[in-house]
């Protein structure tokens, strides 16, 4: 008589249907947004791809840490707290943010074209505008986080090393809305422009180079035009590299900074705002045009 | 049975000159359906219209009761799509890609991960699911593409040339998977130019040529008997021809003989003739038309 082993069974699980609810366009948009954020941060990717964004965040945070450290060491020695960098200057001053955008935006856009993933994405409940919103939103969200977190470190650190934390908070209450607004404006500008330029390339390096060329060419052009003139000229507004910093100044000071190229130009603030809106609006319109074939 | 797909007077022209679909009209029941046509016959355009990615010049397409023109998003929640070309991000694992595409199809994150695991297991990639896709063979990539099409439990899966680039073993396994989908209650439209694949896999067939409908119907109805039997007498076909003198018989190159028949009496007469001539009867098979015959016959009829 042979003993049987009741545990030794093999089951063919076959196919199990899904009986839950499926989300629609908003769920698809959110899922693509999350996937793009994960990709940009190197999550579920190799350690080399993880290294880059976090090193850049660390670099962007260094000025805040140095500033807080100096304030801590010198506290009580001077009447005023020593500030190496102000909140206004810290918005977008780090080249790390620009490098991050230049490498991240192509990375979340170009592989979709290069690997021909778009037909898979658009065979799902996703339209062209959803795709644009998810991709621009993802890059903008990360740029915002990477621009805002060092500011939080700076603010909290300064507050803790100050003689009276509550007084520091009330004295600097305005930056609590100025900083997030200015960083958000900067993030939207960089993200929309970088993603729009990247949408024309299939190779990441080409897209990154194209973005830097656009920013540098407009910057150099503006410099040549303003240097050649006798004084401030409205042509300084074509400097796309500088534009978000002029908007930042409008947010912090209510006017173009006196040392800016647009200073002294009548209606310089409105001009800078107009260029900002044209760049962001034009970039988003370009993206919607690029993905119009799946618009429904 | 309620129609899975109803297509009426569907026409699509590119650049005003190239007519990809020409007044296509067909009604299909749920099941495994073969969409047959040569390269450029309009198969991919038909899929793009089904997915709402291309608007037709005229005509309507209704999938599972939903008009594609009126609610393309609603239709896409019911469809899975496997393109012919490579389409997966190669630097990610199959599990991550299928899970991500499941989420974009509307699955909650946890369900997407679970179903990604299930469907990768179903297509035979359970052990390879955490490996980057760039290391996959052609057959594994085809399976991963099929898995992403299934992850959100679609009612209908559109497969564009699913056996393209596969070796005979891989092709056999892919067709076996397609057949199994039908048993799971998932309808399939498989676009291919390989009639053998359709004949062995699909229960319905739609044939198109230059955007026009050539033939459609249930496979077994299209593959009717031809009224010819093939007699195998172990290579002694010449002797059999002599024994069947008076009948319209044809000796084939492999030594077998084809004989037209009209009924059972003819079959009895052939068997008696073989026995009388002292020949060994190794086989007597009724010849059925192949889809090639149907396609060529209807194509020729359309040209006249």
CA geometry: angle at A27 spanning B3 and A24, to 5°?
Answer: 25
- Show the domain range for A86: 25-294
CB of B189 within 8 A of CB of B51? no
Does position A12 have pLDDT exceeding 60, yes or no?
Answer: no
Are the Cβ atoms of B89 and A34 closer than 8 angstroms? no
A14 shares contact with chain B (CB less than 8 Å): yes
A10 falls within a domain: no
Antiparallel, parallel or unpaired: β B18-28 and B5-14? antiparallel
Alpha helices in A87-174 (DSSP H): 87-90, 95-114, 118-122, 128-161, 165-171
**What pLDDT score does A1 carry?**
46
CATH superfamily of B5-221: P-loop containing nucleotide triphosphate hydrolases (3.40.50.300)
Across the range A159-175, mean pLDDT stands at 88
Does position A93 have pLDDT exceeding 70, yes or no?
Answer: no
CB of B123 within 8 A of CB of B94? no
**What pLDDT score does B197 carry?**
87
Residue A17, judged by CB atoms within 10 A of its CB (0-12, 13-18, 19+), counts as: exposed
Q: What are phi and psi of A212, to 5 degrees?
A: -65, -35
Helix (H, G, I), strand (E, B) or coil at B84: coil
Does position A61 have pLDDT exceeding 90, yes or no?
Answer: no
The residue ranking higher by pLDDT, B57 or A235, is B57
Interface test with B, best of A14, A15, A24 (most B CBs within 10 A): A15
- Chain B closest CA to A159's CA: distance in Å? 40
Q: Which residues of B touch A124 (CB under 8 A)?
A: 76, 101, 104-106, 152
Are the Cβ atoms of B73 and A25 closer than 8 angstroms? yes
Count: domains in chain A: 1
Does the ipTM exceed 0.90?
A: no
Residue A181, judged by CB atoms within 10 A of its CB (0-12, 13-18, 19+), counts as: middle
Fold entry, domain B225-288: Alpha-Beta Plaits (3.30.70)
Q: Which residues of B touch A119 (CB under 8 A)?
A: 53, 81, 83, 87
Across the range A184-194, mean pLDDT stands at 95
- Domain ranges for chain B, please list them: 5-221, 225-288
A272 falls within a domain: yes
From first to last of its 304 residues, chain B has per-residue pLDDT tens of: 678 999 999 999 988 788 889 999 999 999 999 999 888 888 889 999 999 888 899 999 999 999 999 999 999 999 999 999 899 998 899 999 999 999 999 999 999 999 999 999 999 898 899 999 999 999 999 999 999 999 999 999 999 999 988 889 989 999 999 999 989 989 999 999 888 888 889 999 999 988 888 888 888 877 766 678 889 998 888 898 888 888 888 888 888 998 888 878 888 889 999 999 899 999 988 776 676 776 776 666 655 5
Does position A120 have pLDDT exceeding 50, yes or no?
Answer: yes
Domains B5-221 and B225-288 in one fold: no
Are the Cβ atoms of B87 and A116 closer than 8 angstroms? yes
């Amino acid at each position: 008589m042979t003993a049987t082993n009741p545990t030794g069974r093999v089951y063919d699980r076959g196919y199990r249907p899904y009986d839950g609810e499926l989300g629609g366009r908003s769920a698809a948009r959110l899922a693509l947004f999350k996937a793009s954020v994960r990709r940009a941060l190197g999550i579920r990717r190799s350690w080399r791809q993880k290294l880059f964004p976090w090193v850049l965040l660390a670099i962007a945070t260094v000025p805040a840490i140095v500033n807080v450290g100096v304030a801590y060491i010198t506290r009580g020695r001077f009447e005023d707290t020593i500030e190496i960098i102000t909140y206004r200057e810290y918005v977008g001053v780090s080249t790390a943010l620009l490098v991050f955008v230049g490498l991240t935006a192509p990375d979340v856009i170009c592989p979709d074209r290069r690997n021909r993933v778009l037909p898979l994405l658009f065979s799902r409940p996703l339209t062209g505008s959803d795709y644009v919103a998810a991709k621009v939103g993802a890059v903008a969200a990360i740029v915002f986080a990477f621009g805002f977190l060092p500011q939080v470190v700076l603010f909290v650190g300064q507050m803790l090393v100050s003689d009276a934390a509550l007084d520091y908070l009330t004295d600097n209450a305005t930056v609590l809305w100025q900083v997030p607004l200015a960083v958000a404006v900067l993030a939207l500008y960089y993200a929309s422009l970088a993603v729009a330029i990247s949408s024309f390339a299939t190779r990441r390096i080409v897209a990154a180079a194209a973005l830097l060329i656009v920013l540098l060419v407009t910057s150099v052009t503006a410099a040549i035009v303003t240097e050649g003139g006798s004084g401030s000229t409205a042509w300084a507004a074509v400097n796309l590299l500088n534009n978000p910093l002029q908007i930042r100044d409008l947010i912090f000071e209510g006017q173009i900074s006196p040392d800016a190229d647009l200073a002294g130009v009548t209606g310089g603030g409105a001009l800078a705002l107009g260029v900002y809106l044209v760049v962001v609006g034009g970039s988003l319109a370009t993206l919607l045009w690029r993905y119009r074939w799946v618009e429904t | 049975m309620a129609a899975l797909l109803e297509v009426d007077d569907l026409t699509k022209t590119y650049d005003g000159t190239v007519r990809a679909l020409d007044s296509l009209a067909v009604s299909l029941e749920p099941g495994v359906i073969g969409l047959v046509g040569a390269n450029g016959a309009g198969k991919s355009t038909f899929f793009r219209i089904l997915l709402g990615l291309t608007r037709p010049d005229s005509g309507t397409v209704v999938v599972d009761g939903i008009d594609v023109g009126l609610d393309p998003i609603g239709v896409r929640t019911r469809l899975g799509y496997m393109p012919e070309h490579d389409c997966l991000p190669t630097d990610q694992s199959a599990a991550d890609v299928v899970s991500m595409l499941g989420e974009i199809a509307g699955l909650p994150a946890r369900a997407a991960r679970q179903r990604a695991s299930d469907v990768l297991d179903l297509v035979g990639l359970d052990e390879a699911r955490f490996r980057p896709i760039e290391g996959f063979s052609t057959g594994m990539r085809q399976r991963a593409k099929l898995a992403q099409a299934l992850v959100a439990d679609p009612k209908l899966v559109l497969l564009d040339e699913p056996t393209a680039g596969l070796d005979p073993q891989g092709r056999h396994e892919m067709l076996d998977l397609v057949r199994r989908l039908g048993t799971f209650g998932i309808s399939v439209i498989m676009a291919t130019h390989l009639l053998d694949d359709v004949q062995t896999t699909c229960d319905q067939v739609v044939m198109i040529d230059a955007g026009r409908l050539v033939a459609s119907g249930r496979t077994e109805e299209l593959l009717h008997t031809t009224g010819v039997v093939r007699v195998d007498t172990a290579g002694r076909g010449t002797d059999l021809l002599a024994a069947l003198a008076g009948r319209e018989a044809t000796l084939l190159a492999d030594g077998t003989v084809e004989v037209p028949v009209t009924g059972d009496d003819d079959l009895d007469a052939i068997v008696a003739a073989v026995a009388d001539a002292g020949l060994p009867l190794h086989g007597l098979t009724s010849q059925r038309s192949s889809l090639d015959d149907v396609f060529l016959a209807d194509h020729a009829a359309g040209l006249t």
